[in-house]
Structures are given as structure tokens and as C-alpha cells.
A and B are shown apart, each in its own frame.
Chain A
């Protein structure tokens, strides 16, 4: 199963690379002309086209480009002149840190809220539903701005720029950790709040789906306490579709992180991507897209392994995740 999933994942990344290659060819504008500048003579443009291999047949260009890309030869950034590979090597750990932490926190928070909603019902359920749907509907870039307005400009409590202060190199020990955490606080809170809203909505639904099953009635008839039924029987079974959602929500989380990184100048892949897009820095855009797609594919694979670990039916059948509820979005 792992092997098959791995092959599928590689196929997806290859598909992304192919898609990128042909989109770049479809786009208006000649990359050679872009490189040599507007004052170049036709001979210079032709020379540059030859140097880039643009005079070759498309299939050959594709093979050469793909070969280089797979080997890690991603070219140099047009905007900064730095090797693209070095730029992304610096960026991806920051993204993983932000996305990974917010994934953990938003699921813990979301599951807690969802459980309270599903077991209590009534007015509390309604109030929390309103809260979770509002959080779910908040655009990350706007929530980020509002948090900056409150915590940076009004209260003056937290920084809103970068991953470390300007004086970070002079700090030692705990001061350094505290500085890092203070910089992490706002971007992490923004991503986590939005993620928790979506998770709570889903956990509530999944628990209500499971609650009608016969084994829950039996557990109750055995005389188990309501808390034991809710946590040991309903929640544990409801977590299987929730784990599947975890895989499905990774692309969305990465998408959200792109905006958050741009707002908070968080030095991750998303910020590199947005800056490259705004500067029309194609080599960087291509590489950042490929890195994002790879991270998402790896995340999906991890989520499927988690589902298999949690659900013996899947583990034994080796068939992959059970179908998620339709329109879970």
C-alpha cells in the first residue's frame, strides 16, 4: 500500500511539473526577450533563444528541463540573482514549522470544541456553531491584519514582522526562544483560529454521524457513563473521517499559509512564492510551486498512514482511506 501511494505521489508531483512547463509555454511573452531586455537586437534575442534551448522541439525542451529540474538544477532568480535552490532550502523549514504547529493546535482546539458541541447540544452548541462558522469564513489575510491592528499597533504587545527580531543574533538562551515565540504568535494564531473553525464543524458532524450507530446504543445500555460513551466510543470512531480530513485539508492549509506568510513577512515558501509572482520571477515561481506540491503530497501520504494506523479495517484491507463524507469541502 505504501509503495502504491508513493508512486501515486510521485505521479502527482510529475504532473505538477508537466503542467507548469506547458503553462509557461502557453503564457504570453518570450522568456528570451524578457532576459535580454527591451533594447536587444533580433540577433541577440535569437542568440538567447538558442542558449535557453527554445529553438528545439517542445518535447526535447521538456525532457531537458525536467531532467535538470529533477536533479535540483533550478536556475538562478531573475530578481535577486541568487540560486533558486538555496532560497527554497532556507524557506521550507519555516513553512513546515508554521503549518505543522498550526495543524496540531487547530486540530486539538477544533476537536475539543466539536466534542463539546456534539455532546452538549442546545444553546451552547448554537453559540459555538456561530463561532466556528465565523472563524471558518474569516479570510486569513484579513484576520491577520485585524490581529496586527489589535496586538501590534493598539496594545504594542507582539511583533508582526518576520520570524525573529533584528537583534536576534545578540540574544542568548531563553531570551532568544522568547523572541522566536513572540514572532511566531500572531501568524500561528491566525492560521490556527481559522483551521480550528473548520475542524470543529467537521468533528461535530462526524460525531453526530457515529452517534446513531448500534454499538453506541449498546455502550449506553451497558451502563457506561455519558462521558465514557462520548470519548471512548463516539469520538474514537468519529476521528477516522477526521484524520482523512487532515489529509484533505493540507492543501487548504498551505494555501492559507501563503497569505499569512505574505502578511507577516514569515520567511517561508509562501512568501518566496508571492514575492516571486509579484516580480514575475519565473524560475522561483516554478520551484516554489514544485516544493509546495511536494509538501502537500507528503502531507497527504502521512495522513493516509495515520488513517491506516487508526482504522484496522483499512490496515487489513490495504485499500487506503475510507471515503470521506461527500461535500466535506
Chain B
């Protein structure tokens, strides 16, 4: 528990956990915190209401309404479900593929390892968004496709990290003694090496989460991700793009939410990394 308390003493980790926690909670409790995100009661009377106003039916709109008279706050919260969910699932896919490839490459040194490492380097050299666009253009856009596409284009950093860790750990005495006691290769890998190699993976996953949420929004923004009327932060920003002049709040609100969540994930990742690597931190002391 001391480790946990120490992490929270870092302002960045506390902020990151608080924001991510609040976002997840808001997404989970969306039906109780906001009305129906698809409700269009009376388009003419309720469209383009500015934030903090009430419509003719006495309904209060914290973040105003969009061009169809839908409540922006409700769409933001329900959009969080899709955006956070898609981002988290995509990172899970990346972690699964990355750990599998990295562990295999680190453990079976000979040609299988070289082939897997070559594959990783190749995938790392591809422009990810270009690949995402290519894949999204070939299949019908859907949330599931975005999860798979983001997952299968984001595993390379994790594979390289795991590969490095496995290589280092394989020479450590506790692994050698496990081998000496007669444990089989896969058992050593699964029970002794991988559990010790997972900490940097957590950092990479936190940083990757922010990236995945941002890319999901980007694909949805271009109309290749989550399809309207289902709300996601990306297609909310896209729908606000056309009404930037008379209703800037429609695009601003989901963008601010997106930036907050990505900053939170990045700061949390930074804080965990600095804890694992205590040699860093502070500043260059140049004055004597």
C-alpha cells in the first residue's frame, strides 16, 4: 500500500487518476446525470441554445444544444461511453498483441525472434493514420472496426518494451534457477518472466490510451469511425464544425473533454514512469 500512497503524492498521478476516474464515472452514470442524447423535442424552439440556458419546456441545458436541439451535455456524457470504451478496448488489443509478440521474440532468440522483431520495426515505420484510413475505407465503418484497427496498429511500442525486458530478465538468477529446477520454457516465461516485465507495459498502455482516444475521435471526425446519430467525441466535434460561427460550444465542449482525458492519461503515465526510474526528475542543477 505504501507504493500506492507514494504514487498519489505525485500531483500528476493524483490529477490523472482523478480526471480519468471522473470521466469513467460520468460515462457509467450517464443515464442518471443527463437526459436522452438523441431527444429532439422541438427543433425550432430548442436548437442552438447557448450553454446555461433553459428551453421553452423548462428543460435546463448546461452546455447548450446543437442544431437539432439535442442536449450537448447528454451527448458529451454518452459520447464518453463510446470514446473511452473504444480507446480502452483498443489498448487492450494492443497490449495483448504486443506482449505476445514481444515475449515470443525475446524468448525464442533464433530466426523466429528476428522475424518478429523485423515485423515490429516494419510496422513501426508505417504512418499509423494513413494505415487507419486505408483500413477504414475498405470495410464499413463501425466502433468494432475502430477497436480492431487501432489495436492492431498500436502494439509495436509495447512489443519492443516487452522484448527488451524479457531479454534482460532471462539472464537473471531467479530465472536461471527456475530453469535449473526443471521448469519448462513456457512455464518460465508465463510465471517468472512476464509478471516482472509488465510494469513498463502499464506505462505504455496509459500513454497509448490517450493516443487511442484521440485517434478514435479523429477517425469519427472524418466520418470513418462511430457513425451518427450515436454520439462519440469525434463525431460531436465534427458536427460542431459546421456550426462554428453561430454555436461554437458544440465543438468546444467535446474537445475540452478530450484534451482533459488525454492530458490525464499522459500525466499518469509520466508519474508511473518516473517512479519506476527514480534517477530522473528534478532539474539540471547548474549553479554551484
Chain A interface (Cβ < 8 Å from any Cβ of B): 11-12, 15-16, 20, 23-24, 26-28, 117-122, 125, 133-134, 136-139, 141-142, 145-146, 148-149, 153, 205, 207-209, 211-212, 220, 226, 229-230, 234, 251-252, 254-256, 258-259, 262, 273-274, 276-278, 280, 282, 285, 288-289, 292-293, 296-297, 300, 326-327, 329
Contact = CB atoms under 8 A, between A and B. Distances in A.
B248 interface: yes
A207 B286 CA distance: 12
B77 to A, nearest CB: 18
Contacts of B208: 329
Given A142-B237, A145-B255, A296-B127, A119 B263 contact: no
Contact of B138 (A23, A139, A259): A23
B76 interface: no
Interface in B192-224: 200, 203-204, 207-208, 210-211, 214, 217-218, 221-224
A141 B218 contact: yes
B145 to A, nearest CB: 11
15 contacts: A28-B139, A121-B283, A137-B262, A205-B280, A208-B283, A251-B125, A259-B218, A277-B222, A278-B222, A278-B223, A289-B130, A289-B134, A296-B127, A300-B125, A326-B160
Given A28-B139, A326-B161, A277 B133 contact: yes
B143 interface: no
B128 interface: yes
Interface in B252-270: 252, 255, 258-259, 262-263, 266-267, 270
A23 B222 contact: no
A296 B139 CA distance: 25
Interface string B119-132: 00010111111110
B279 interface: yes
B241 interface: yes
Nearest to B134: A289
B273 A327 contact: yes
Query: Quick one: which of B222, B267, B279 has the most chain A CB within 10 A?
Result: B222
B164 interface: yes
Given A11-B122, A277-B222, A285-B133, 15 more contacts: A28-B140, A117-B283, A137-B262, A137-B266, A139-B255, A146-B255, A277-B224, A285-B134, A285-B137, A288-B130, A293-B127, A326-B200, A327-B157, A327-B204, A329-B211
A149 B248 CA distance: 8
Contacts of B222: 259, 262, 274, 277-278
A285 B133 CA distance: 9
B284 A119 contact: yes
Nearest to A228: B286
Range of interface residues on B (Cβ < 8 Å): 35 or more
B182 interface: no
B284 A258 contact: no
B58 interface: no
B127 A326 contact: no
The interface residues of chain B, by DSSP majority, are classed as helix
B138 A255 contact: no
Contacts of A285: 133-134, 137
B264 to A, nearest CB: 9
B173 interface: no
A293 B283 contact: no
Given A24-B138, A141-B218, A149-B244, A118 B258 contact: no
A259 B221 contact: yes
B245 interface: yes
B104 to A, nearest CB: 19
Nearest to A291: B130
A79 B210 CA distance: 35
B169 to A, nearest CB: 14
Given A137-B210, A146-B252, A277 B126 contact: no
Contacts of A277: 133-134, 136-137, 222, 224
Contacts of A139: 214, 217-218, 237, 255, 258-259, 262
Nearest to B129: A255
Interface string B95-138: 00000000000000000000000000010111111110111111
Contacts of B259: 134, 137-139, 142
A258 B130 contact: yes
A297 B126 CA distance: 8
A1 B279 CA distance: 34
Given A139-B255, A255-B127, A277-B224, A145 B137 contact: no
B134 A20 contact: yes
A11 B248 CA distance: 47
B125 to A, nearest CB: 5
B288 interface: yes
A138 B257 CA distance: 11
Contacts of A141: 218, 221, 237
Nearest to A15: B122
B70 to A, nearest CB: 19
Query: Quick one: which of B251, B279, B284 has the most chain A CB within 10 A?
Result: B284
B286 A119 contact: yes
